[in-house]
């Protein structure tokens, strides 16, 4: 599995349904963030959008009117919810040889531990994409969401115990069996385990809200500075785990991102995190929250990606769906560097 900063052929999205459960009573309010996301992406690479039917496509086109639509391709792949990172295909590449240079790994999907049925349409997305692209498909026979892993493209993978070892995903598999499937189907050697996720994260602790590779040996991780905040202990422990982690025997370079202030809506804490950024070919999409820490986070990401434009987009409405830009996107690697 290539690193996210390696060249993309396209970014895949699943357009949200007005009747979906992700944005209760706020569908119209998330449209500005979605439009801003697509507007930034099409300046970087082609965008593929999954839609359920003609009316759904028409609704998406209306929201995106005025953008360069020739950079967008709509595919009739129906979905339950818009979180393409988790239900979409994970692409893997083959270095050299005569067989297909790109393939799809179809991990099982059960809506984060059967929390949000139905999810049958989402579970079918990887095979549908593979059919459209005429790609081979591998079946690990294990439940895994794309947001639960992050790779450096050179044999290392970040994940969390709270998610991947949760019994609501793969109760029949041991830790060792899960690690073996990650090695077999994603081509990794070093698996770096973090502990728990942030408060409000209904995925049981996806790593893309916690820590991300930004280079082969460099990781950014979120840190809560307020000891009274419920995220403080878990994020401190994850930092200590990263400090102890090794890739091929060598330590990581660790940068820290701040956490935004606590966001509560209708009595529920929302999982706002600057780690949920997406690395496109020419830009980095970064969530912002009208918080004093926004500019600090954008500056840090700018230092990490000096050759990409960091685009901060207000996610205060989007986070009501419990995700941000990394959760919404899935990269299709380029099979050759242009």
Q: List Cα–Cα distances, 21 to 26, 79, 117, in angstroms.
A: 10, 12, 10
Q: Name the residue among 299, 323, 297, 295 with its Cα closest to residue 197.
A: 323
Kindly write down the DSSP assignment for every residue of 213-281, as one continuous string: EEETTEEEEEE---TTSTTHHHHHHHHHHHHH-EETTEEPEEEEEEPPPP-EETTEE----TT--EE-S
The yes-or-no answer on residue 327 being catalytic is yes
- The residues, ordered by sequence, that sit 6+ positions from 2 with a Cβ below 8 Å of its Cβ are 91, 92, 93, 151, 153, 333
Reading the block at residue 187, the tokens are: 């081509």
pLDDT band at 337 (very low <50, low <70, confident <90, very high): very low
Number of H helices, E strands in the chain: 11, 20
Torsion of CA 299, 303, 307, 309, to 10 degrees: -10
Out of 84, 304, 315, 327, the active site residue is 327
Q: What is the pLDDT of residue 99?
A: 62
What digits encode the pLDDT tens for the residues 257-292? 999 999 999 999 999 999 999 999 999 999 999 999
- Cβ neighbourhood burial of 60 (10 Å; 0-12, 13-18, 19+): buried
Cβ pair 209, 200 in contact under 8 A: no
Q: List Cα–Cα distances, 196 to 143, 152, 214, 262, in angstroms.
A: 19, 21, 21, 18
- Cβ neighbourhood burial of 336 (10 Å; 0-12, 13-18, 19+): exposed
Kindly write down the DSSP assignment for every residue of 127-162, as one continuous string: HHHHHHHT--EE---SB--GGG-EE-SSSEEEEEHH
Q: What is the mean pLDDT of residues 202-215?
A: 98
Report the percent of the chain where pLDDT is more than 70.
98
Reading the block at residue 258, the tokens are: 């701040």
pLDDT at 250 exceeding the cut of 80: yes
Q: What is the pLDDT of residue 14?
A: 98
Q: What is the pLDDT of residue 338?
A: 39
Q: Name the residue among 258, 335, 266 with its Cα closest to residue 297.
A: 258
Q: Name the residue among 127, 147, 88 with its Cα closest to residue 330.
A: 88
What digits encode the pLDDT tens for the residues 157-180? 999 999 999 999 999 999 999 999
What digits encode the pLDDT tens for the residues 54-66? 999 999 999 999 9
Q: What is the pLDDT of residue 98?
A: 56
From the CB of residue 89, how many other CB atoms can be counted at a distance below 10 Å? Answer: 24
Reading the block at residue 228, the tokens are: 């009274």
Distance CA 181, CA 3 (A): 18
Distance CA 238, CA 223 (A): 9
What digits encode the pLDDT tens for the residues 109-132? 999 999 999 999 999 999 999 999
Q: What is the mean pLDDT of residues 239-246?
A: 98
Does CATH number 3.30.420.130 belong to domain 8-333?
no
């Amino acid at each position: 599995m290539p690193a996210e900063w390696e060249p993309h052929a396209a970014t895949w999205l699943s357009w949200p349904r007005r009747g979906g459960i992700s944005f209760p009573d706020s569908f119209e309010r998330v449209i500005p963030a979605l439009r801003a996301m697509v507007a930034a992406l099409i300046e970087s690479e082609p965008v593929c959008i999954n839609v359920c039917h003609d009316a759904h496509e028409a609704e998406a086109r209306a929201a995106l009117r005025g953008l360069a639509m020739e950079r967008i391709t709509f595919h009739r792949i129906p979905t339950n919810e818009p979180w393409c990172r988790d239900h979409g295909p994970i692409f893997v590449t083959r270095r050299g040889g005569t067989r297909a240079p790109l393939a799809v790994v179809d991990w099982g999907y059960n809506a984060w531990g059967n929390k949000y049925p139905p999810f049958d349409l989402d579970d079918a997305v990887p095979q549908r994409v593979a059919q459209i692209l005429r790609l081979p498909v591998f079946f690990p026979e294990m439940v895994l969401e794309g947001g639960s892993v992050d790779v450096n493209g050179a044999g290392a993978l970040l994940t969390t115990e709270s998610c991947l070892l949760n019994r609501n995903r793969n109760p029949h598999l041991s830790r060792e069996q899960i690690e073996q499937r990650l090695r077999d189907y994603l081509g990794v050697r070093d698996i770096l385990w973090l502990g728990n996720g942030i408060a409000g994260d209904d995925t049981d602790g996806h790593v893309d809200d916690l820590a991300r590779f930004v280079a082969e040996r460099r990781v950014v991780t979120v840190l809560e500075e307020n000891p009274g905040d419920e995220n403080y202990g878990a994020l401190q422990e994850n930092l200590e785990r990263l400090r102890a982690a090794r890739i091929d025997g060598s330590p990581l370079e660790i940068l820290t991102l701040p956490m935004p202030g606590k966001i509560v809506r209708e009595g529920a804490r929302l999982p706002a995190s600057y780690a949920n950024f997406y690395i496109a070919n020419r830009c980095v999409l970064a969530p912002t929250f009208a918080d004093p820490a926004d500019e600090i986070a954008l500056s840090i990401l700018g230092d990490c990606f000096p050759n990409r434009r960091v685009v901060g987009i207000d996610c205060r409405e989007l986070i009501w769906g419990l995700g941000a830009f990394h959760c919404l996107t899935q990269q299709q690697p380029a099979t050759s560097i242009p």
